[in-house]
Amino acid sequence: MRLPSPLPVCVLLLGLVACGPEQAPNTVPVTSTSTRNAPIWIDNEEIPDGLAAVGIAQPNPMSDKSLQRTVAVADARTKLAGKLKVRVQNMFSQLNQQVTEAAADGSRKPIKADVMNRVIENVSRQIIDQDLSGTNTRATWTDSSDGSLYVFVVMTKDSMDRALASAAQGQIKKEIAQGEKSLDNALEKLDAAIAATNSAL
């Protein structure tokens, strides 16, 4: 007796599977937490209007929410300080390039590397010590699975630019007063250097 070919059976099964109910795509953002519905900023700190960082704090034994928030904000500000330092370095890299190009005709001296490094360190320290107070907490979220608090701390581009300009002007003037004449034309190019680093944000 001849057995029926298995091919029509396979085609029929594939057809039934294809006609099954469609699964909806997963619309929950994928984040570093295991909890569903976590806000997307936990893994994407980039914002168009400044610099931002996410701070995290675990629950404390006293269940003190105020202390937990303070720890989370401090964590975010530490991370933001690192980003600010990179921003200062980028700004002075732009400034040094502009001053070096202006000095190419031989009428001015390029800025010495040790002078530039000293100014960068002093400006970074001043901004981190004084101007992180210009930050604000834009959002908070608590992970219901373990009680961890996440805070989204932001420094706006306007306040950041004011802080950068003020700190850089002060340090450059101080160096000029101490005899670093190669920085004479740096002040007039400072706004352009800040604008150039803004375009990289």
Which is higher by pLDDT, 185 or 136?
Answer: 136
Alpha helices, DSSP H only, in the chain? Answer: 7-18, 65-102, 113-130, 157-177, 190-198
How high is the pLDDT of residue 16? 41
Pairwise CA distance, residues 155 & 61, whole Å: 31
Which residues touch 139 (CB under 8 Å, ≥6 apart)?
39, 41, 151, 152
CA 27 to chain centroid, in Å, comes to 25
Question: For the residues 182-187, what does the mean pLDDT come to?
Answer: 80
**Lowest-pLDDT range, 45-54, 125-134, 173-182?**
125-134
pTM, entire model? 0.72
Lowest mean pLDDT among 7-11, 80-84, 163-167: 7-11
Please, which pLDDT band fits residue 150 given cuts at 50, 70 and 90?
very high
pLDDT tens per residue, range 20-41: 444 433 334 445 655 567 899 9
Domain ranges of the chain: 30-198
Which residues are CB-neighbours of 78 under 8 A, at least 6 positions away? 55
How high is the pLDDT of residue 149? Answer: 96
15-19, 41-45, 178-182: which is most confident: 41-45
pLDDT beyond 80 at 68: yes
Q: Which CATH architecture has domain 30-198?
A: Roll (3.10)
